[in-house]
């Protein structure tokens, strides 16, 4: 660089003429250095500027004489920064700092000042280096903006952003407190591996050591000890201009929950498809089987009338009984398939129905079971009483069987529901949406079911019991579907089961009874025989059917109570002496429900009838009896109804 000829310098204040030559030589050297400097230089004594270099003139746009003396500070320093400059100068504070400087044209620019105290000869001189840092400040501002945008982007795309150096957290942002439960003070300064599950710590540590970038999954431990699955996207970045590792974390719990729900829905759909297929199969088999049973029953009935030998007639009656039991199974198959006529619908108070069944089922439920009822009164559904009774009986007896004759609790809850919870998206039957529903929940504290069993529990012919045909719960699906409802089972091994049923609530008044249909007229001629002696039941069946009655049989008192609720007979012929429950106890339980069902007591001991209150039965038939005596007793009981 060619040195420019300097103008005659101003003499230093208080400097004698004898010292000027030495000052001139020093100034020449100083001038050479100032021309070689890339920074503006200011030389002053106690704020009085006695020289500046050419670079400062280029930076500021002022002429030299405009800056000498005491003019520089007022002209070149922004008013807001002037007090700080004066303070540092007065206290002779060394070091770097940035101010806002003003050019001659009035424009402003960031200037970095670096002050040093020196001497010129034996006089103290202060040298100030001035650097225009506009480009640096723009770069740093751009970097800050970039970092801010990166933070904003990370905040939108991720839940937590961790900035670390050598694995130590130096900063963190996002919803870290609500997710992991730690404050900033508990996180910053600690190593990342302190918060990683022990199973994932080795792989996370290797990634940090190798400065690996990209996405990965790991488990973060919260302050409460919860294992939180997270997705981490690691990149190498900078923070305040220093290299740093940025890891953006996304809480995967909502995603994992959605995945579980999707799998549940897929399984529920597959189960529904499988059950629908089984329903079609069961319905087709039942239809064809019913045709065969019709032939068997008709032929056996004809044989009974034609065979003179009593022993042969007994064989024929056995065929009839077996065929009727088979017909009962096909009826349940048709119910499961949704192809059976459920009969007339009436407004039914489910709470009252459960109360009645609870009394009748005392004989069949486990003796060690405690039944807990929570029933909202006046909750009506429009449905068929017989099939809804079968539904409740199947659920209650299933809960009792799950206790395995061990002490436990069976709970029954009935309540109104307007917004069924999300678990009913996995239910079988009608699609559930907000509205007026009645919820029936039957719970037990029994053995529970694993997932494989739970997925098959509604399949026909699937059972975990030693004795059973596996149609009870399968029929429940058909009954619930035919009433426009949905059914769901929840269970875990060792934690019992909960069967939940939603049925549309009935809001209106009880409808006027419709004229009795054909099957109702038949029910008005349905007689229930409860006797533990098979030959007696055969004889009674033959006698009553010969007079046009439909006959239902029960071999024990407990079976008789179930048949009363299930088959709705018009009268009962009830034996007094039976091994499980006596006829008197069965009668008392029937009456305890408020039922006025006509009952004919029959016994070989005439005094047995005295054990019951006279008003609780309608007729007494002593054994042995003739056909006319039997029919007379039944007719008297029906007449007294």
**Domain at 329, CATH number:** 1.10.287
- What's the rounded Cα separation, in Å, for the pair 485 and 427? 10
In a domain, 478, yes or no: yes
Is the pLDDT confidence value at 372 over 80? yes
Mean pLDDT for the chain? 79
Cα distances (angstroms) measured from residue 427 to each of 265, 432, 503: 9, 8, 12
In a domain, 324, yes or no: yes
86-90, 455-459, 617-621, 632-636, range with the lowest pLDDT: 455-459
23 and 168 assigned to the same domain = no
- What's the rounded Cα separation, in Å, for the pair 554 and 506? 34
In a domain, 10, yes or no: no
CATH of the domain at 459: 3.30.565.10
397 and 500 assigned to the same domain = yes
Return the structure tokens found at 425: 């998206």
171 and 202 assigned to the same domain = yes
In a domain, 3, yes or no: no
In a domain, 8, yes or no: no
pLDDT at residue 592, rounded to an integer? 84
Read off the pLDDT of each residue in 245-264 and give the average, rounded to a whole number: 82
- What's the rounded Cα separation, in Å, for the pair 177 and 587? 67
With CA atoms as reference, report the closest residue to 442 among 476, 483, 493, 407.
Answer: 476
With CA atoms as reference, report the closest residue to 570 among 592, 588, 548, 537.
Answer: 548
359 and 477 assigned to the same domain = yes
pLDDT at residue 500, rounded to an integer? 93
Cα distances (angstroms) measured from residue 201 to each of 84, 162, 208, 620: 51, 16, 11, 84
230 and 266 assigned to the same domain = no
SS3 429: strand
495 and 352 assigned to the same domain = yes
Q: Which of 251, 266, 289 represents a domain boundary (last residue)?
A: 251
Read off the pLDDT of each residue in 592-608 and give the average, rounded to a whole number: 76
In a domain, 61, yes or no: yes
Question: Into how many domains does the chain fold?
Answer: 5
Q: Which of 251, 281, 313 represents a domain boundary (last residue)?
A: 251
What tens digit of pLDDT does each residue of 260-284 get? 777 776 666 665 666 565 555 556 6
Tell the residue number behind the tokens 């007639």, with chain if given. 313
Calculate what percentage of the chain has a pLDDT beyond 70.
Answer: 76
Read off the pLDDT of each residue in 587-599 and give the average, rounded to a whole number: 86
CATH of the domain at 98: 3.30.450.20
Return the structure tokens found at 383: 């449905």
398 and 497 assigned to the same domain = yes
353 and 495 assigned to the same domain = yes
- What's the rounded Cα separation, in Å, for the pair 44 and 118? 10
> How many contiguous H segments (helices) and E segments (strands) does the chain have?
19, 23
Q: 552 has which bridge partners?
A: 528
SS3 268: helix
Helix axis angle, 385-402 to 350-360, nearest 10°: 50
With CA atoms as reference, report the closest residue to 337 among 286, 289, 391, 279.
Answer: 279
CA atoms within 13 A on the CB side of 270: 8
370 and 318 assigned to the same domain = no
pLDDT at residue 310, rounded to an integer? 77
333 and 360 assigned to the same domain = no
Question: Where does residue 283 rank: exposed (0-12), middle (13-18), buried (19+ CB within 10 A)?
Answer: buried
In a domain, 586, yes or no: yes
Q: Which of 309, 337, 365 represents a domain boundary (last residue)?
A: 337
**Are the C-beta atoms of 500 and 356 separated by less than 8 Å?**
no
Read off the pLDDT of each residue in 140-144 and give the average, rounded to a whole number: 74
The radius of gyration computed from the CA coordinates of the chain, to the nearest angstrom, equals 49
CATH of the domain at 626: 3.40.50.2300
Containing structural domain, residue 232: 138-251
Cα distances (angstroms) measured from residue 206 to each of 79, 201, 203, 209: 55, 9, 5, 5
In a domain, 468, yes or no: yes
């Amino acid at each position: 660089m060619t040195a420019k000829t300097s103008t005659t310098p101003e003499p230093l204040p208080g400097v004698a003429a004898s010292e000027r030559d030495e000052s001139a030589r020093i100034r020449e050297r100083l001038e050479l250095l100032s021309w070689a400097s890339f920074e503006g230089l200011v030389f002053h004594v106690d704020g009085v500027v006695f020289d500046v270099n050419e670079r400062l003139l280029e930076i500021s746009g002022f002429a030299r004489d405009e800056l000498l003396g005491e003019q520089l500070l007022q002209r070149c320093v922004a008013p807001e920064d002037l007090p700080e400059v004066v303070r540092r100068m007065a206290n002779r504070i060394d070091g770097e700092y940035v101010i806002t400087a003003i050019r001659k044209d009035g424009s402003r620019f960031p200037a970095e000042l670096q002050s040093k105290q020196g001497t010129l000869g034996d006089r103290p001189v202060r040298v100030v280096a001035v650097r225009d840092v506009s480009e640096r400040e723009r770069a740093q501002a751009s970097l800050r903006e970039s970092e801010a945008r990166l933070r904003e982007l990370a905040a939108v795309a991720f839940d937590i952003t961790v900035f670390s150096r050598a694995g130590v957290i130096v900063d963190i942002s996002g919803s870290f407190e609500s997710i992991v439960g730690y404050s900033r003070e508990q996180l910053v300064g600690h190593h990342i591996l302190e918060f990683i599950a022990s199973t994932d710590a080795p792989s996370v540590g290797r990634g940090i050591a190798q400065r690996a970038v990209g996405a990965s999954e790991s488990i973060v431990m919260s302050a409460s000890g919860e294992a939180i699955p997270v997705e981490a996207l690691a990149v190498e970045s900078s923070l305040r201009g220093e290299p740093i590792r940025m890891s953006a974390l996304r809480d995967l719990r909502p995603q994992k929950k959605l995945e579980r729900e999707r799998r549940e829905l897929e399984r529920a759909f597959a189960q529904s498809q499988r059950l629908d297929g089984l329903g079609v199969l069961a319905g087709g088999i039942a239809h064809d089987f019913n045709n065969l049973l019709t032939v068997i029953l008709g032929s056996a009935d004809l044989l009974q009338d034609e065979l003179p030998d009593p022993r042969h007639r007994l064989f024929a009656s056995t065929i009839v009984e077996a065929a009727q039991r088979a017909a009962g199974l096909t009826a349940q198959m048709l119910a499961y398939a949704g192809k059976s006529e459920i009969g007339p619908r009436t407004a039914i108070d489910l709470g009252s129905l459960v109360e009645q069944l609870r009394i009748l089922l005392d004989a069949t439920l486990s003796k060690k079971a405690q039944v807990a009822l929570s029933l909202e009164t006046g909750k009506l559904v429009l449905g068929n009483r017989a099939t809804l009774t079968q539904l409740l009986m199947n659920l209650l007896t299933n809960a009792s069987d799950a206790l395995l004759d061990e002490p436990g609790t069976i709970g029954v809850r009935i309540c109104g529901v307007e917004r069924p919870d999300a678990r009913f998206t996995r239910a079988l039957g009608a699609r559930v949406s907000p509205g007026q529903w009645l919820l029936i929940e039957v719970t037990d504290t029994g053995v529970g079911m694993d997932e494989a069993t739970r997925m098959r529990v509604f399949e026909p012919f699937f059972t975990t019991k030693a004795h059973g045909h596996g149609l009870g719960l399968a029929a429940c699906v058909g009954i619930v579907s035919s009433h426009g409802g949905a059914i769901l089972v929840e269970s875990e091994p060792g934690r019992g089961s909960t069967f939940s049923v939603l049925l549309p609530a009935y809001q209106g008044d009880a409808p006027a009874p419709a004229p009795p249909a054909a099957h109702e007229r038949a029910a008005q001629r349905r007689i229930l025989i409860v006797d533990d002696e098979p030959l007696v039941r055969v004889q009674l069946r033959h006698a009553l059917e010969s007079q046009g009655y439909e006959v239902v049989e029960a071999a024990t008192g407990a079976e008789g109570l179930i048949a009363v609720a299930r088959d709705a007979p018009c009268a009962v012929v009830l034996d007094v002496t039976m091994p499980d429950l006596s006829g008197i106890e069965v009668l008392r339980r029937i009456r305890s429900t408020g039922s006025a069902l006509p009952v004919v007591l029959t016994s070989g001991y005439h005094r047995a009838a005295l054990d019951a209150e006279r008003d609780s039965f309608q007729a007494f038939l002593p054994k042995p009896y003739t056909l006319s005596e039997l029919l007379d007793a039944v007719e008297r009981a029906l007449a007294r109804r």
